[in-house]
Amino acid sequence: NPSFDSNWDGWTYTVSRGNPGIEGGSGNCAEFWNTGTFDIYQEIPTLKDGYWRLEVDALYFPGNSDKIVAALNAADSTLLDNEYFYIKGIGLNNEKKVVAWSDIINGAIEDTEENEELKSAVSGSAKYTTEHFSFVAPISLAGFKTFVAQKRYHNVIDFKYEANMGAIRFGLRLEDDITSGACWCPFDDFKLSYLGNGTHLKFTDRFMTYTPAENISFSYDDPVKAWLVSGYDNNQVIVTRIYTAMAGMGLLLEAEEGTVYDVQPTSDVAAYANLLVGLQNPYQLHPYEDVDGISYRTFTFGYDNEKPGFYVNDNVVNMPACSAYMRIPASVADAIMSAEVKGFGLRFEDNSEGLTTDIENLDNATTDKATWRTLDGRRIGKPTSKGIYMRNGKKVLVK
């Protein structure tokens, strides 16, 4: 009963006060209002070993609008950081949770002229004005559904299940009744999806090329960074960090030597322009390749005087499965290559802020910079105006 079809079948819940309810009819939706603390969950006895994704559409409205505005003006996140979208393994009593899962701010629409079309597509909403910005958010179940239709207030937890975790419990929880019962939490459409077993990697060097057999993802704070080759500039190639990769895509991975890492499958991927060619099977690589009538030079990853880069391939090379190589048009390569220049150095580009660094500054090049977004999810550079923004997944007040 993931969509709460007119009843609570399959779910266990506790509330300290107030009114749990379910909207009947088409497009059912559950809600808690003025409930004080609550916990709603299901338990599953066991799962298949591997990676899973748990999703739900939900928001948390703490107290009344005056309290929310006052908290935002004071840059006080206490009201918003009091609830959890969680999953836990009963056997190990370990819990993974998302704090402030899609609270009223994170899924809101900024009240700007650029967002007029977005605002006109929602109903059952109200406008809130703080000292720094204004936003529009739902105030009814009908309004909540129109925001969800725009893929707002959607929450995701990815986790790995192993047999010793035992039964799995997942749900939504409010731990502290700091609003004296004045809260609202609509929710709908829980979804649990199997992503796959993943792949076990061990780094014998700082870099390795890699080609995944399935769609995979990397988080911002992973010990492994994934790069693609997005272009070239004279005798350097531009390597850009990414966080999802499609099956069969050639990658350059970076981690500390000796790192052991389980690659995590995902269902959410994006397509990128990439000069790396992925190999899912062993492959005999020749110095030149013809593709659609165009001649390409091939390059393999390696080191020259301890500098990593992609170096011209002058011989037939037996490439192993799950590796990758680079190819660029022969006319470009031949114009750059010489007796002294046999390859391309790396110029790292952090795509969160467009930062580029030459290979001579490799240690600084891979230092991650903050990813800034507006509250409706748009990626931006470092903010230049006052307001509340998302920085690496957390709300930040810029004064």
Q: What is the pLDDT of residues 359-392, one digit of tens each?
A: 333 233 333 344 566 655 555 667 777 666 666 5
Q: What is the pLDDT of residue 397?
A: 65
Which string of DSSP letters, residue by residue, matches 35-85? -SSEEEEEEES---SEEEEEEEEE-BEES-HHHHHHHHHTT--TTTSSEEE
How large is the average pLDDT for residues 133-137? Answer: 87
For residue 225 the two structure tokens come to 């960074």
Q: What is the pLDDT of residues 153-205, one digit of tens each?
A: 888 888 888 878 888 999 998 887 777 767 888 999 999 988 877 777 889 89
Q: Rounded mean pLDDT of the chain?
A: 81
Residue 259 is given by DSSP the state: -
Tell me the three state secondary structure of residue 146.
helix
Q: Do residues 349 and 230 touch, judged by C-beta distance below 8 A? A: yes
Q: What is the pLDDT of residues 50-82, one digit of tens each?
A: 888 888 999 888 777 777 788 777 777 666 666
- Confidence bin at 241 (pLDDT 50/70/90): very high
Q: What is the pLDDT of residue 395?
A: 59
Tell me the three state secondary structure of residue 359.
helix
**CB atoms near residue 256 (< 10 Å):** 9
Q: What is the pLDDT of residue 7?
A: 84
Largest CA distance in the chain: 79
Lowest mean pLDDT, pick from 58-72, 133-147, 283-297, 371-385: 371-385
Q: What is the pLDDT of residue 392?
A: 55
Q: What is the pLDDT of residue 364?
A: 30
Q: What is the pLDDT of residue 378?
A: 56
Q: What is the pLDDT of residue 80?
A: 64
> Distances in Å between the alpha carbon of 293 and those of 250, 326, 327, 372?
22, 18, 14, 42
Give residue for tokens 């004005």. Answer: 129
Give residue for tokens 């550079």. Answer: 381
- Confidence bin at 342 (pLDDT 50/70/90): confident
Q: In what order do the strands lie in the sheet with 379-380?
A: 379-380, 372-373, 387-391, 394-398
Please report, rounded to a whole number, the percentage of residues in the chain having pLDDT higher than 90.
26
- Confidence bin at 92 (pLDDT 50/70/90): low
Lowest mean pLDDT, pick from 118-132, 235-249, 326-340, 349-363: 349-363
